[in-house]
Amino acid sequence: MIRLEGALYPWRFRVVLALLAAMVGAIGWRIVDLQVIDQDFLKEQGDARSVRHIPIPAHRGLMTDRNGEPLAVSTPVKTLWANPKELLGAKARLPELANALDTDLAALSKRLEQQAEREFMYLERGLTPEQGEQVLALGIPGVYGLEEFRRFYPAGEVAAHVVGFTDIDDRGREGMELSYDEWLAGVPGKRQVLKDRRGRLIKDVQVVKNAKAGKPLALSIDLRLQYLAHRELRNALAEFGAKAGSLVMVDVKTGEVLAMVNHPTYNPNNRSNLQPAAMRNRAMIDVFEPGSTMKPFSMSAALASGRWQPDDKVDVHPGWLRIGRYTIRDVSRVKDGVLDLTGILIKSSNVGMSKIAFDIGGEAIYSVMQRVGLGQGTGLGFPGERVGKLPNHREWRKAETATLSYGYGLSVTAVQLAHAYSVLANDGQSVPLSLLRLENAPEPTQVMSKDVAETLQGMLQQVVEAPGGVYRAQVPGYHVAGKSGTARKASVGSKGYTEHAYRSMFAGFAPMSDPRIALVVVIDEPSKGGYYGGLVSAPVFSKVMAGALRLMNIAPDNLPPPAETQTVALPEAKGGRS
């Protein structure tokens, strides 16, 4: 006779039924809880699978020159992306997509296979909106679009080194784009949308957060002067077969950089064949020995000492000076072997400058150069800017004193040199440099005696206008002042100097009635037609300064006197009609 196990142990059966009932009750309670009491949970889970937040791109701030001309603008572009899982499910349409993107089918297929487990990959970035919509109109599964912005630079290569550029993600990578990235960069917004399980947009729900555009930035440079300087520097490099060149123009009164040009340069709108050397802002980064352009500052130290006056004489015969193992030589020969202080600047006599330096000491010269900003940062905050080197010795020996007095043994940038000459032009007052347009001129600091600065202005005017001076730097209709310089290039990786390698320089300011513009031209390794600063760089100074003075509407101060008018008596008419 067979008996059921449950009949022998009725309590077990009841326990199982109780457990099943409890489980059913728990499930029922959870259903009621989710559907009636705690509805937010299921709503959140549903939203997590359908509600998405899409970023709203924000364009960068507009960058302009001082007159409002655009230097960097943001333009809308279309970025195409794909869900590899979906796209691989429609392999038959890959040839159509590859053709629309003008890309290799095999390369596209390989990329998709490598990222098959992902749900996102870029197909193409930076397309025009029209190009992007043409691809999206094909309706290929797994292909989607994003709105982005791309930077465009209207001035191209002319202002490339100052403005810089952004990367593909619209982040600043060079120049002012990098320096002021946080200021220029916008804050992306956020839009809430509904999508299906395939990622297709069903409904645009609402804007959660509005995009905030970047702030505008007005630079100090004048695009008119930038184009002028770019053209003349490029022509000079071609004429003299030079390796590179830089030009810096500064407003003497405000410290604003009105133009900054370098060659070679590059086009920031097309960087496919960009060479790293062309990206370098040489005016801010390259340091060099300034040569004879330093003699006015050494001369200012002599005048400030009270031991020397402009008409004092120095014997420079026989044109060379021996100091231990070193020989200091003059390029120009002086007929009677005697020069006054102005004559030392006109003839650029190393011997005469050295003898004055021995009398006042190297410390006095160092002090002047340090006060006008050499060996220090300019405060511009430009990426990669170098400060150069201004040596200071516990004991100034004759060789060190002499070389510093005529511009060797120290290193400067073109921007520092322009700033130093702006101090001379501004009656000994130093104004901080700025690459941004200023509404009000900053408070100047007197770093050199006004009397000394004015005396040097007259001496440097004679350097350009006196017989035997640097006549190629003269500007028709204006009195100008300046000093040329020619320096040998130091060897890279070894001591000494490279044979037949020079830098040609000219630094000056105008107009002399009330100096407004300081200008520095540096040309690297001219290889034909000569290499002296007065021959190579001075003509560039003349042409750029002439154009700048006219464009800035600065009145001439060197016009010839008007011709005297003569009154001519006409004979009286006899008869006829009047």
Cβ(248)–Cβ(162) under 8 Å? Answer: no
Output b/e per residue, 407-435; b: 16+ Cβ within 10 A.
bbbbbbbbbbbbbbbbbbbbbbbbbbbbb
Amino acid (one-letter) located at 180: Y
Active-site choice (179, 220, 246, 292): 292
Residue 292 DSSP one-character state: G
Nearest residue to 517 via CA among 526, 527, 507, 525: 507
Separation CA 353–CA 347 (nearest Å): 11
Torsions phi, psi of 367, nearest 5?
Answer: -60, -45
Select from 384, 175, 166, 148 the least CA-distant residue to 269: 166
Structure tokens at 379: 């405060």
> d(Cα 537, Cα 240) in Å, to the nearest integer?
10
- Retrieve residue 232's tokens: 């003349």
Q: How far apart are CA 404 and CA 289, in angstroms?
A: 10
What three-state secondary structure class fits 198? coil
292 noted as active-site residue: yes
Question: Hey, what are 359's tokens?
Answer: 């009398």
Phi-psi group of 125: left, alpha or beta (phi > 0 → left; psi -120 to 50 → alpha; rest → beta): beta
Element containing residue 146 per DSSP (H, E): strand 143-152
Beta pairing partners, 187: 212
- Ramachandran angles phi, psi of 212, nearest 5°: -115, 115
Under DSSP, the state recorded for 233 is: H
Query: What is the pairing mode between strands 217-218 and 63-64?
Result: parallel
How many Å apart are CA 219 and CA 230, to the nearest integer? 17
**295, 328 contact by CB (below 8 A):** no
Residues taking part in catalysis: 292
